[in-house]
Amino acid sequence: MWRDPSPLAKAGIFTGTDPRCHAFSAFRAEKISMMLGDRRTMVVHGPEPFDRGDVGRLLDALGPCRILVAGVMGRTAAEESKVACEFCTVPPSTVFAHLSRPAFLLNRAKTPDSGRVFGEIVAGRLKDGLVHVECASETVFCWNGGDQELADELAVVLGYERTIVRATARPPAAGRTIRGCIPGEPVCVNGIVIGQATAEEVVLRNAGEDVEAVSGLMVKPHGLEKLRRNGRIDLASAWCKSGQIRQKAPVRATGLSRIGRIVLLDHCAHRFYDLVTPDACGVLAIGDDTTTVAGHIAGHLGIPVLGVTDGDPDGVVGGTFPEGSLVLEAVAGRDDEIGLMIAGMIPDRETGWSCWVNDVMETMGDQVRPVFDLR
């Protein structure tokens, strides 16, 4: 939420530090890097390494590290952990492309197999090697001639196995295979649920402007429609995931101002931290999955959410919302149409959250039905 106005942020790489700090400037980044000297950079993917204590254990074993966090829910978990971090708006492979060594990737996947596959994807996108600590299998992978000395050190301090492996780059036309799925769990592309897994592997491919399921997926047509609205998707670089985005409930914040700017998230929960800034007093979230994800992150920040849904959330995260939130189900039409009508009511100025929500309810009348109310 605390945004970085520095050239690094403008390049789309870093978006801030721990929320208790001021905006992270390029000058401070350089100073901290000088202070760290040859100390390692830990690139943390996702929330689990924070929620399960892996980051803390590594810091205890290694001493101070520069910590970069990739992923929306990873940032939420990092902020709750009170570990000082920098936050990245790009995939881990892009982060490593801008880093000097020594650096390593820390991940805790859902299964050992999916963890190895994730590391292979990241390593296959890099020109240099990769050291990948996978907590799900208690393995340190040294991909494509990565830093063996660093891999050995990490394996010793963690008591993990060290293994040397190779990964190859896959052409964009090859589509995307999501491995380690559990049948019945939701499958997401860029934060939008496009169906339920029916096998351990879900195979997707680009079909013109659309994403098409090849195998392993019971398609949710409305999800693919929502994905199409966001423009052409490059599956090679898209954020693809199965299962819940985060298992742990957020630590709730309270007592923040309810006067400020209202932010619109239209089927783009993965852009939460790009759009929600410190002057926000509330979030309008359009879409079932966007509402549940926004509710989780906003609960951590103490910002209320007005969610507009079709009534079929897919269990991407737990249903946790901060005080002042309201979730509406579209009665006359889809969440897309109703949500855009409400979006048109967002004022181009600071406003009071409670008054605005009351105005929305009065204007929409019987076109919506409250299904969850924390006002």
Instruction: Annotate the chain with three-state secondary structure.
Output: CCCCCCHHHHCCCEEEECCCCCCCCHHHHHHHHHHHCCCCEEEEECCHHHHCCHHHHHHHHHCCCEEEEECHHHHHHHHHHCCCCEEECCCHHHHHHCCCCCEEEEECCCCHHHHHHHHHHHHHCCCCCEEEEECCCCEEEEECCCCHHHHHHHHHHHCCEEEEECCCCCCHHHCEEEECCCCCCEEEECCEEEEEECCCEEEEEEECCEEEEEECEEECHHHHHHHHHCCCCCCCCCCEEECCCCCCCCCCCCCCCCEEEEEEEECCHHHHHHHCCCCEEEEEEECHHHHHHHHHHHHHHCCCEEEEECCCCCCCCCCCCCCCCEEEEECCCCHHHHHHHHHCCCCCCCEEHHHHHHHHHHHHHHHEEEEEECC
Distance of CA 7 to the CA centre of its chain: 22
Q: Where is the domain boundary, 216, 242, 268?
A: 242
* 265 and 304 housed in the same domain: yes
> Sign of dihedral through CA atoms 32, 35, 41, 42?
negative
CA distance 362 to 79: 37
Joined together, the tokens standing for residue 178 give 């999501």
User: Which residue among 165, 187, 220 closes a domain?
Assistant: 165
Measured from the Cβ of residue 94, the count of other Cβ atoms closer than 10 Å reads 18
364 falls within a domain: yes
Q: What is residue 312's predicted lDDT score, i.e. its pLDDT?
A: 62
Quote the number of domains for the chain.
3
Distance between CA atoms of residues 309 and 292, nearest Å: 10
Examine the domain organization and report whether 65 and 176 are in the same domain: no
Task: Examine residue 111 and state whether it is found in any structural domain, yes or no.
Answer: yes
The parent domain of residue 199 ranges over 172-242
Q: Is residue 63 part of a domain?
A: yes
Query: How much is the pLDDT for 7?
Result: 33
For residue 133, what is the domain's CATH number?
3.40.50
Same domain, 221 and 84: no
Reported as half-sphere exposure (CB side, CA atoms, 13 A), residue 107 has a value of 29
Identify whether 250 is part of a domain: no
Shared domain check, 211 and 263:
no
Q: Is 197 contained in some domain?
A: yes
Gap between the Cα atoms of 263 and 266, Å rounded:
10
Rounded Cα distance between 195 and 104, Å, is 33
Instruction: Based on the fold, state whether residues 148 and 177 are members of the same structural domain.
Output: no
Residue 56 · residue 65 · CB < 8 Å? no
pLDDT of residue 257: 62
Whether residue 139 sits in one domain with residue 191: no
What pLDDT is attached to residue 145? Answer: 93
| One domain, residues 182 and 129 | no
pLDDT (0 to 100) of residue 364: 92
Q: Read off the tokens for 238.
A: 């898209």
- pLDDT of 300: 78
Tell me, yes or no, whether 286 and 359 share the same domain. yes
Strands 351-352 and 326-330, by their bridges, are unpaired
State whether 344 and 223 are in the same domain: no
Give the per-residue pLDDT at 26: 35
Query: What is the value of pTM for the model shown?
Result: 0.73
**pLDDT score of 215:** 92
Q: Is 295 within the bounds of a domain?
A: yes
Low-confidence stretches of the chain (pLDDT < 50) are 1-37, 316-317
55: CB partners within 8 A, 6+ apart: 42, 44, 49, 67, 78, 81, 83, 106
For residues 74 and 191, membership in a common domain is answered with no
Instruction: Please indicate, yes or no, if residue 249 is contained in any of the structural domains.
Output: no
187 shares its domain with 160:
no
pLDDT at res. 333: 77
Q: Give pLDDT, residue 309.
A: 87
Tell which of 135, 165, 195 closes a domain: 165
The predicted pLDDT at position 170 comes to 66
So what's the pLDDT on residue 137?
A: 95
252 in any annotated domain: no
Whether residue 47 is found in the same domain as residue 83: yes
